[in-house]
Amino acid sequence: MPSYAGASPLPGGEETRNYLLIWVRRFACWTIFGYALAEAGWWFGIPGGIYALILKLVDLVLAILAIVFVLQNRVAVRGFIAGRPAAGAGDGWRRLRARLAETWHILAVAYIVGLYLAYALHIEGGSAYILRATVLSLVVILAAQLLARFLQQASERGFAVAPDLKARFPLLEHRANRYLPILTGLFRAGIYALAGLAVLQAWDVGSFAWFESGVGRRITMAFLSIAVVLAIALAAWEILAAAIERHLAALDAAGAPSRARRRTLLPLLRTAMLGVIFVIAALIILSQIGINIAPLLAGAGVVGLAVGFGSQALVKDIITGLFMLIEDQVAVGDIVDVGKEHKGVVEAISLRTIRLRDQAGAVHTIPFSEVTTVKNLSKGHAFAVARITISYAEDLDRVVEILRGVSDDLMTDESVAPLILDPFDYQGVDSLDEFSVALLLRVRTVPGRQLAVGRALNRLIKIALAKHGIVSRDPSPVIVTGLVDAGKPAEGDGAKPAVTAQRRSA
């Protein structure tokens, strides 16, 4: 129906459909009227030789028409066979399609000539056999193509995600249909494989009889066993990965340290389980295809022992890191100091290294074997420590009250108040030197935020000391000595020395 405006099962426009209609009429008319003429002459009593000659002439004209039709369409069919370069297609497949596109008309002409010669030379069962096999092959190929296309469209429509859900959750379709292209591809491959076997059967190759032989049954069972093993391995991995992802998603960003440890260990567990599942599946598949895996296991043990001796540093890194993670010494997001000028925020932890980013932005990658001590600055809680020096002439009690007021002012700062657990922890006199008296003040904070609180505390201390005129040090050195008061027993008799400060002239 060249003028039909609806969807057409054939590609091309109205001109292409008119062209095909013309050639369908030519083939149909010549076939029907040619054989009708031969049959009419037979019933009118023409000799058998003339009857056979008319049939051969009719078939010859049909063969010539078929060759002309093939040559007229060799360019269009060549483009259809070559197709567009598909993403991910191999070079071998593209070269095969290109060669077939260049030579398809030669093969078609040879097929037409062979079919006519089989008929004209009266080869026993030749033309009938070829025609029957050709028709069956075309039917099988067309049915396989239609079934594969139906399967593709059914999978796209049946497993499609609603537009509103896709807009709300952009990653939902990828997660829900992650393996749908693989499954669809496997089903399409199975359909085309069965179609290929059916085509071979149509040409009396006996492809299906091969499955009834011992070798065929063994190969088929091995293939099915491998498919089941791969499906089970994939299902186990997906269940494990989904459980880990769901567990990690349930952890809030500011969770407890145990949650930080789980956030660090679970990805490592996922990687380890992937390796275990892969190795087990590979060994089972090798055993299914008839390979004895016992020597492989023994050889792997020997190789593993040799590798263990040769890579002791690597093994030490892995074992040390594993125990550090199990003992919850360090986790992603912690602020740590591992010595050798390596201090910063933990960005990532692998099986053998820990990666830190320091305050300047530099990234340090340290093997676990080089980590002898771990100073975790964000474990449980932290302290912002302020060391204040004052002159010997200042009143300590007055200075302590000023510091207490500083702590009260610190709690009114909305930017740091949520980070403070205990605003005032006065530790007393820390040291005495020749110029000043050092006082120690601590503020307990949430882990990892002591630096921000410390900066705000230092700012308020500076303002408060300047406001009350507190001198931070003496202008001249002061000698601190321990003297024995007159009339009291010596130090050896149980008396304590009286500490006095004497100012030394400049």
Same domain, 179 and 48: yes
> Does the pLDDT at position 193 exceed 90?
no
Same domain, 166 and 271: no
Sequence-distant (≥ 6) Cβ neighbours of residue 298 within 8 angstroms: none
Question: Comparing 53-57, 286-290, 450-454, 462-466, which segment has the lowest mean pLDDT?
Answer: 286-290
Distance CA 406, CA 416 (A): 13
Same domain, 78 and 198: yes
pLDDT of residue 282: 84
Q: For residue 223, which of 199, 190, 255, 201 has the smallest C-alpha distance?
A: 190
At 308, the pLDDT band (50, 70, 90 cuts) reads low
Distance CA 388, CA 430 (A): 9
Sequence-distant (≥ 6) Cβ neighbours of residue 134 within 8 angstroms: 115
Same domain, 363 and 399: no
Distance CA 240, CA 246 (A): 10
Residue 5 placed within a domain: no
Question: Comparing 98-102, 124-128, 293-297, 352-356, which segment has the lowest mean pLDDT?
Answer: 124-128
Same domain, 111 and 207: yes
Same domain, 35 and 173: yes
The tokens describing 183, both together, are: 């499954």
Of the residues 158, 184, 213, the one at which a domain ends: 213
pLDDT of residue 180: 73
At 426, the pLDDT band (50, 70, 90 cuts) reads confident
Say which residue, 261 or 420, is predicted with more confidence: 420
Distance CA 331, CA 265 (A): 9
**Average pLDDT, stretch 5-11?**
58
Question: Comparing 187-196, 202-211, 216-225, 282-291, which segment has the lowest mean pLDDT?
Answer: 202-211
User: Per 3-state DSSP, what percentage of the chain is helix, strand, and coil (rounded to 5)?
Assistant: 60, 15, 25
Residue 3 placed within a domain: no
Q: Express each pLDDT in 23-40 by its tens digit.
A: 999 999 999 999 999 899
The tokens describing 93, both together, are: 């497949």
At 177, the pLDDT band (50, 70, 90 cuts) reads low
| Helices and strands in the chain, H and E counts | 14, 10
> Does the pLDDT at position 289 exceed 60?
yes
Same domain, 303 and 320: no
Residue 115 placed within a domain: yes
> Does the pLDDT at position 355 exceed 70?
yes
* Average model confidence (pLDDT) across the chain: 76
Q: Express each pLDDT in 241-259 by its tens digit.
A: 777 777 666 654 445 445 5
The domain of 279 spans 217-310
Distance CA 483, CA 499 (A): 6
Residue 6 placed within a domain: no
Same domain, 387 and 482: no
At 96, the pLDDT band (50, 70, 90 cuts) reads confident
Q: For residue 437, what is the domain's CATH number?
A: 3.30.70.100
Same domain, 20 and 156: yes
Sequence-distant (≥ 6) Cβ neighbours of residue 107 within 8 angstroms: none
Sequence-distant (≥ 6) Cβ neighbours of residue 450 within 8 angstroms: 377, 382, 383, 384
Same domain, 331 and 465: no
Residue 113 placed within a domain: yes
CB 447, CB 426: distance < 8 Å: no
Residue 239 placed within a domain: yes
Q: Express each pLDDT in 359-375 by its tens digit.
A: 788 888 888 777 777 88
Distance CA 365, CA 354 (A): 6
Of the residues 333, 357, 376, the one at which a domain ends: 376
The total of structural domains in the chain comes to: 5
pTM here?
A: 0.44
